[in-house]
Structure 1
Amino acid sequence: MLRSPQEGSPAAAPVTARVLSVNIGTARASEHTDADGGMTGIGKRPVNGPVAVTAPGPKGTGGSGLAGDFIGDLRHHGGDEQAVYAYAREDLDRWQRELGRELPGGVFGENLTTQGIDVSEVRIGERWRIGPDLVLQAASPRIPCRTFAGWLQEQAWVKRFTRAAAPGAYFRVIEPGEIRAGDRIEVLHRPDHEVSVAFFFRARTTEPELRPRLMAAGDALSGEELDYARRWAADPS
């Protein structure tokens, strides 16, 4: 969804990649979730001060990687492969213009609202350092669900989000640490394959012809996505 400057236009000043806000969700009732108890933490809000980030444990038992962040449906969300979800402020701004409504940091359920880096073009296996200690590794794209659609209350939201192919990225925690708003994002390692989270998202949803190329990301894929890639390598249909 990010647009390049028009040809001949003045070059924009470089923006240091950073975390604009760290967002935490609290439990709230929702009729759009299948979680036991009908609770969701999708509506996240920015918090002040440092937040501890650690690997939460396997899906099904581990929730969010951020201390204090609620995950309602542990069967489908959270765990080590979805410990931290990041979304770009630039993409939120694009949606804000399209939807004609304010979209504050955290409204898409993201833990990190970023600036100055195209989160959806992060490559599977890419590593970021945020703040002095935390190291994250990109694992998979976000796949929209009915809880997301119900929360935003936008018509045909899953189809619109899918068509835009700017899913944001889930990260696993490689080295724990504390983060806060304003922390710089440093790319420690960018793999030389082509499989970004947006590439995988398009292969999984709207462009199945891309599926034979997914194994280029190899073991850097999360468990579920690696299973998909192996199956599609054998039978792309």
Structure 2
Amino acid sequence: MTHIDVLRVFCGPDGRHGNRLGVVRDGSRFPGDEARRALAARLGYSETVFVDDPERGLVDIWTPSLRLPFAGHPCVGAAWLLDVPELVTAAGVVAARQDGEFTWIEARPEWAPPRTLREFQDPDEVDRLPLPPPGEWVYAWAWSEEAAGRVRARAFPGRGDGVEEDEATGAAALLLTARLGRALNISQGRGSQLLTAPQRDGTVEVGGRVEPAGTVRP
């Protein structure tokens, strides 16, 4: 019987919160797009990762409704679990490293799926936002302390697949970092933390804490 690892990715400093991620270590047990889409929908996490080659770090990322060439919190979580120096995604090779309590990945902004980055003037505005109707993928953000690079954010996928709000979204953090051109310390959702740093070659590092959250059966 296959067991699926469940992780919380981008946990806060107290080890709480983070975005739940399912990782299927033996992806060969779910061959084909339909089997993977069905499992991702049944699990109901914002993303599920199928590991097709653990030594090479070859992964396949699914939302409950579609495949993603790249996504941030699945890559951070898979890198932590597999403890590999890189992951091979459909978008390209994602470098990975461990640094104390943080796991970091390095990726190109153009690999991230399109997001609408919507700036607000005050973190309280972000906190008060209602759930938008399905359609547009919105990353709402505001400076909480601009000089220190601190950001308050919430993410609304708008996919209509049951995931109304993402607790922590690495790809959107990557895009915001590329737009602003500076390192960020992002508080997202109920209390998740994402750290980012732009690199000289145009890539962006995204890092966070990962905690195990048990296993489930498919």
Larger radius of gyration: 1
TM above 0.5, one fold? no
Structure ranking higher in strand proportion = 2
Structure 1 length-normalised TM = 0.26
TM-score, structure 2 as length reference: 0.28
